[in-house]
Structure 1
């Protein structure tokens, strides 16, 4: 009984092995058939390729130009829609140009203020210099008129010729010519009268000025002494003296007694 079961097992194993080998052979046959079909297809494709002319492959984008154009157009940024402003509030380009920021306005205002201050300072300085020059010129005219009156009204017969020459030297124009013409007659009167006069100028004031000329009002007094030693009371005089510049010096050109 034991040997009989063993034989049965061996037959079953052999049967299974044969069945497996059969299945393997069938699988190999199918694989060989598949390889044959694949080789046949490759041969047919190669033959077809040799028979047809070579055509360059078109780019993928060329097949759909319209789609490419659409994509290119969609890549561009969309234009912003214009913003509508009210008529009285629309910000125009010219208005933006003519409204500078506050710092610029502040700097401009500071520059204008500085220029104004400089102009005012320059004008005040110029005016001050003009006034100083005028005062100096008036003082020169007043001093010349004062000295002219003293030379005219202070005469001593003991030194008559020197006094007359000093008076002539302090005059100019027709006034000088008149004194020079009557010098001898005037000297004779002085010697005969033997009178000594002394003048004192109390005040001067420039009435008006011109180009190198001026009119000066002079308040003066004179005292007369004769040969006997008698003195007369001082006499007051008011005179209008015209002066003019002659070779750089201011001299008397006219004398008038004012009542």
Structure 2
């Protein structure tokens, strides 16, 4: 009977799995009585694999009129959008063309003021080196409703995808996430590199591929052991993922020899040697 099926955990699990699959491939859509709310959603898309966006983020994408997307993040999801959705490329590519942050803010405001549902699709999490708060502040000043949808940060997920735990019992009791977009000797740097060198846990560096040689030299100069393990995970969680291992003493040379390019997450510390260097 129907009542018996409702009490059957296998039946319930099958329904749950069907719902999850429908959300994943967009065959399950929002009910027609739902109305889209104009405004902006700052959606963290995760580290790159389109399956790693949140359910809420995927639903908001399906309801969007306009999507303003970064280069980093699950760009494959853009191919699944209906043809009427306007997609704006806000790519900020290092050493290439870029869209100034002010222009991105203005585009968000302009489309939202037209009564459209706007999604700002960002890589990782909007508030982890994603300038999400700058966008939220601009929207608030313009009186525009803003929803923030957290995303899986590449600082944790990319090392995990490469077999590296950022913490491990008996090895590391803390991890610190750093921006490497400016060199340690740059006056704009806000990082206390001497303090970082004294930490015994894990250092995770984002946006630091082209600066890692100087970063490593600085850490060694402040007392970090030259043989400290380092791993660079390029394009983590995607089909192009690769992992390159080195030490603080060799990483500058290894990056050049192996032609490691961004986006890549850099992990420094003993956790690098905990797990297998390749996953099955």
Question: Per the shorter chain, which TM-score range?
Answer: under 0.3
The answer to which structure has the higher helix fraction is: 1
TM-score between the two structures when normalised by the length of structure 1: 0.20
Q: Which is bigger in relative contact order (C-alpha 8 A, separation at least 6)? A: 2
> Which structure has the bigger radius of gyration?
1
TM-score between the two structures when normalised by the length of structure 2: 0.19
